Amino acid sequence: MPPVTLFLIAANVVVFLLQLSVPGIEVPFALWPLAASRASGGHVSFQLWQLVTYAFLHGGLWHIGLNMFALYMFGSSMERVFGPKRYLTYYFVCVLSAAIAQLITSALTGALYPTLGASGGVFGLLLAYAIYFPHNRIMLIFPPIPMPARVFVIVYAALELFMGVTGTQESVAHFAHLGGLVGGYLMLKFGRGAPTRWR
DSSP state of 94: H
Q: Is residue 28 part of a domain?
A: yes
Overall average pLDDT of the 22-41 stretch: 85
Q: Is residue 49 part of a domain?
A: yes
> Does 197 fall in a domain?
no
Residue type for 57, please? L
User: What confidence category does residue 64 fall into, taking pLDDT thresholds of 50, 70 and 90?
Assistant: very high
Instruction: Give Cα separations from 46 to 25, 91, 161, 189 (angstroms).
Output: 15, 22, 25, 31
| Digit-coded pLDDT (tens) for 141-195 | 666 788 899 998 998 888 888 888 887 777 788 899 999 999 999 999 887 655 5
CB contact at 8 A, 118 and 30: no
Q: Find the mean pLDDT for residues 122-139.
A: 93
| CATH number of the domain residue 153 falls in | 1.20.1540.10
Q: Is the pLDDT of residue 37 over 50?
A: yes
Distances (CA, A) of 193 to 70, 187, 188: 25, 11, 8
Which residue range(s) make up the domain with 166? Answer: 3-190
pLDDT tens string 67-126: 999 999 999 999 999 999 999 999 999 999 999 999 999 999 888 889 999 999 999 999
Average the pLDDT over 46-60 and give the result.
95
Per mean pLDDT, which range of 29-33, 38-42, 89-93 is the poorest? Answer: 38-42
Q: Is residue 173 part of a domain?
A: yes
Give the count of domains, the chain. Answer: 1
Is 196 contained in some domain? no
In a domain? residue 198: no
| Residue 181: per-residue pLDDT | 95
